[in-house]
Amino acid sequence: MGLGGSNWQTSHLWPKASLGAYLKYDLRVLRPSCYHCNINLGGNGAVFYERMLKEIGQEKMDELQKDRQVLVKAYDHYLTLIPKYEKILQELSTPLT
């Protein structure tokens, strides 16, 4: 079954509960996943990690690992994300000319 409808889940590279506010909603660690992998297999972490490594390479994975240690005040950090994500959404909604 393809990704769509209720089978389309947003999964985290690492369990969301283990991530601080800095990475919890960072688009670099989020990817589409099927319901089975995300829910029944708890994110299928080993496969997810392997695919991410192939997709972005070791250097970027090392950068993400370092970013797991970054501490921020959650509320303030989330407020800074809103305009960034609104801009991305606007760019995705704008037709190419």
pLDDT tens per residue, range 49-92: 999 999 999 999 999 999 999 999 999 999 999 999 999 999 99
> Taking the mean position of all CA atoms in its chain, how far away is CA 48?
11
Which token pair is 13?
Answer: 């590279």
Q: Rounded distance, CA 9 to CA 90, Å?
A: 22
Partners of 9 in beta bridges: 33
- Per-residue pLDDT at 97 exceeds 70: no
pLDDT-based confidence at 95, cuts 50/70/90?
confident
Token duo for residue 21: 């506010």
Q: Residue 40 and residue 50: Cα distance in Å, rounded?
A: 19
Q: What is the pTM of this model?
A: 0.84
Cα–Cα distance for residue pair 33/12, rounded to 1 Å: 9
List, for residues 14-55, the tens digit of each pLDDT value.
999 999 999 999 999 999 999 999 999 999 999 999 999 999
